[in-house]
Structure 1
Amino acid sequence: MSNRKWSFGLIALVLIFGYVLIRFFDSTTKVDDLVQRMEHDKTSASPAKHIVLIAQELDNPFWREMEQGADQAADKLGMKIDYMGPIRIDPSEQMRLLEKSIAAKPDAILVQGIGNPEYDQLIGKAVDQGIPVLTVDADEPGSRRLAYVGTDNRKAGEQLGELVVKNEARNGQIGVIIGSEADNQRLRLEGFRSVISAAPGFQIIDVRSSNISRIGAAEQAEAMLKQHPDISTIVGFSALDAAGIVEGVTAAGQEDVSVYGFDDLEVTRKGISEGDIKASVVQQPGEIGAKAVYLLDQWFKGEKLSTPYFIPTNIMDGEHMQAGGSNR
């Protein structure tokens, strides 16, 4: 009897052990299967899109804000932004960086147009290698770029001209500081001229370049006023110009010169709040960077793009500062 009980006990133990062993192997098989599926999903998932953004000038506040907007959009879309640019404005360095970027084979490139036939060829080279190129801030319309994203620069120039004509009731002679010879600056000057030339009593006396430099703007404004002391208004077309113009006006000993600028740097806001700068046409570089990245996402998904994509500008003056913003 005791042997029979022992036999039944042994059989039960073997059955239990067998059941446990089967469950163990079944569980192990399922885990292995799950790991294999996860590894397959990981290797088969599309890698993050790699986008290069080439600035006109690496640490220029306008371009840093555009980088920030592009980064934020890229994070939401699972993309990666590599930001680069010349230490100081240098079109030839922009071209070299574009050539190096093409060799690195990113998924897309964002660049500023510089109006150069060789640059057009480089953009074409990128396109031939399957790398879409979008222009930002300034267009390169003769190239094979996919689209332009940025300010309607001619319209922005008109906007500044209308502001000057409206505010400067005494009329007068005007000096202009452009940032550079880039296409965006040329278009702003064209738009500004079109308004001023049609306004009785207003005349553009002198046009000079700051080379995208606050010091350059100060030096050119001072020299301009010494040569043309009757100038009553000076406008600047790049972000650092207005602050530099104020310094140049002070150095020239001219306290009754009205100053207008572009963009809303902290120094420009301070100048407006203190009455040294009358107003500024405000671009939205962060929106430009973000919009360019979202457009690339659409293109990667097979959607067609049209061009141009204009990001609106607004006016920042004393009234809007008191209202707590820049009319954005």
Structure 2
Amino acid sequence: MTTLGSGLARGRRWLRGHPLAFDGALAAAVLACMVCASFTEPSTGHGPTFGVRAPAPGGVLLMVLAAAALVQRRHRPMGVLAATGVLAAAGLVLADPPAPVVISTVVALFTVAARTDRPTTWRVGLLTALVLTVAAMVAGSTPWYSQENVGVLAWTGLACAAGDAVRSRRAFVDAIRERAERAERTREEEARRRVAEERLRIARDLHDVVAHHIALVNVQAGVAAHVMDRRPDQAKEALAHVRAASRSALDELRSTVGLLRQSGDPAAPTEPAPGLAVLGDLVGTFRNAGLPVEVACADRDGPLPSAVDLTAYRVVQEALTNVRKHAGAGARAEVSVIRVGAT
């Protein structure tokens, strides 16, 4: 059952991707039905009898033309309906015995009903049913009140109803899909709006906390500077308040940033930023990778600023990486670190 279901699903997908092939197969099936119906005599007392009559050559031609017109039913539904309607009327009036070309008209009418609005469907359907029923009653070989003539009216009405039902279902499914997409967009917009509001609230809270503690630190630092010489005990107390306020501000900032951090974000680094002090370790990793590196580093008079130290380390790291990637086999590198001027 699973294999059969998957095969049917693949077949449906292929037919959706090749609508002309589906319409060709449908036209062939409709032609087969019309030919079979042309060999059937429906007026016997015990129901239809097969093989009692044979279609006329003109009737066969009308059936082939009507079936061929169905291949274009998706692209020109109104034109195909008009063509099959004319051929069906000709089959009822001119062919002897009457050719059952009405079958193709029923399929064309279903296509029109499935692809247009309801008022157009019923106007076109009533016109088609009226023309074919009158043609069958006036020119048919059976009495005007026979069941064959009533059947023409019933089949055209059934085609209109079925096509309208298919169109309504498609419209319903499209409306549900559109509502779902609109709801999804609304949820995303609402989520973005809430994120923006939350960020604004957090920014206000941070501003209030930091401004409060910085103002407190400023006041206590001013007190400490004012009484440093005359009352050192009070100055120490003020500096203790400065330390407590700064620690409280840092704790507030750390807790707020912790709330903003996502679950997948990397943890904040605990090691100090690299600098020229660990240049030997960096060079050692490239030497272990097969790149001979010579280092010439002048004695430093004192520590560099952290930003300058980190920048120098990154420059050397990037340069050695480029040599390792692009210089090829047998390459050598020489690193010279020279400090010029005061910092």
If the TM-score is normalised by the length of the shorter chain, which range does it land in? under 0.3
Question: Would you tell me which structure has more helix in proportion to its own residues?
Answer: 2
Question: Would you tell me which structure has more strand in proportion to its own residues?
Answer: 1
Decide which structure has the larger Cα Rg and report it: 2
TM-score by length of 1: 0.24
Q: RCO greater where, 1 or 2, for CA within 8 Å and sep 6 or more?
A: 1
